[in-house]
Structure 1
Amino acid sequence: MTSLAAAHIRIARPTKDMDAAIRFWVQGFGMTLEGRKPSETGTLEELAFIGWPGGNWHLELVLDREITPAPSEEDLLVLYLEGPVEDQLLESIENAGGRRVSARNPYWDEHGVTIADPDGYLVVLSTRSWS
């Protein structure tokens, strides 16, 4: 059995605009669209899977008529970059629909940049390392 500490992670998030969400992650962050398909049941309209080849996690984007994205200021996806956030990356993310925002917790402003995605979910590009 795989150790839970080594398990891969899927993060599922609802979106109100699948094309905008895919553009944000693929064009902004350089992730890969691993799959996109219409649903065949219920209110779920479409699914998309986005990640990095060989990565330990990926995103599942969900478009559902009955679910509205409801992010809070503490719904954070933190990416630990172990160094400065490159201007080119920020420009790419902003050109793909992201916008810089101030974090609710000033720790994240001191140690990175917080970006809101097209649905309002927050991604922190942290200059810190994960240890």
Structure 2
Amino acid sequence: MRNLDGAHMRVARPTRDMDAAVRFWVDGLGMTLEGRKLEDGAPYEELAFVGWPEAAWHLELVKDAMVTPNPTEEDLLVLYLAEPIDDALVVRIEAAGGVAVDARNPYWNEHGVTVEDPDGYRLVLSTRGWS
């Protein structure tokens, strides 16, 4: 079996409002918009790809009339920042459409900040590191 240590990961998330989703991730989190396209006749209406160029993962945002976002309190994307969360970052995320919320799991309240994106999916900005 091939070694998967260096594999790139794509996480796909549906969205009701592509502009709001892109604003949250790009303006709020500071990610780069890697691409965005309308798809005529495809099973989806629009795609956008956001991420950080040096990261080994990116997000694919999908607008699809047949798929409605259905997040739960446990649909978490966790970013391990290994440092205190800057209040200015949380303000910027909220200005871009995010909402700071209490995490269902108190661990995340103790070790970070949880925000909901415009579709209700949760992002945890963790003060912990990941090695």
TM-score above 0.5, yes or no: yes
Deviations 1:47-101 (A, max 9, x none): 0000111221110000000100000111000000101000111111010000000
Q: For residue 58 of structure 2, what is the aligned residue in structure 1? A: 58
TM-score if structure 2 supplies the norm length?
0.95
Aligned CA distance change for structure 1 residues 2 and 86 (closer, same or farther; 3 Å):
farther
- Counterparts of 1:26-45 in structure 2, within 5 Å, are 26-45=26-45
Compute the RMSD of aligned alpha carbons: 1.3
Once the two structures are TM-superposed, the CA of residue 42 in structure 1 deviates from its matched residue by 4.0
Once the two structures are TM-superposed, the CA of residue 9 in structure 1 deviates from its matched residue by 0.6
User: May I ask how many residue pairs the two structures share in their alignment?
Assistant: 131
Give structure 1 regions of 4+ aligned residues with deviation exceeding 6 angstroms. Answer: none
Q: Which amino acid aligns with 2:119?
A: D
Q: Secondary structure at the match of 2:73?
A: coil
TM-score if structure 1 supplies the norm length?
0.95
Q: For residue 129 of structure 1, what is the aligned residue in structure 2? A: 129
Whether 1:13 aligns to 2:13 is yes
Unmatched segments (≥5 aa) in structure 2:
none
Whether 1:79 aligns to 2:46 is no
Unmatched segments (≥5 aa) in structure 1:
none
- Sequence identity percentage: 66
- How far apart, CA to CA, are the structure 2 residues paired with 1:119 and 1:102? 17
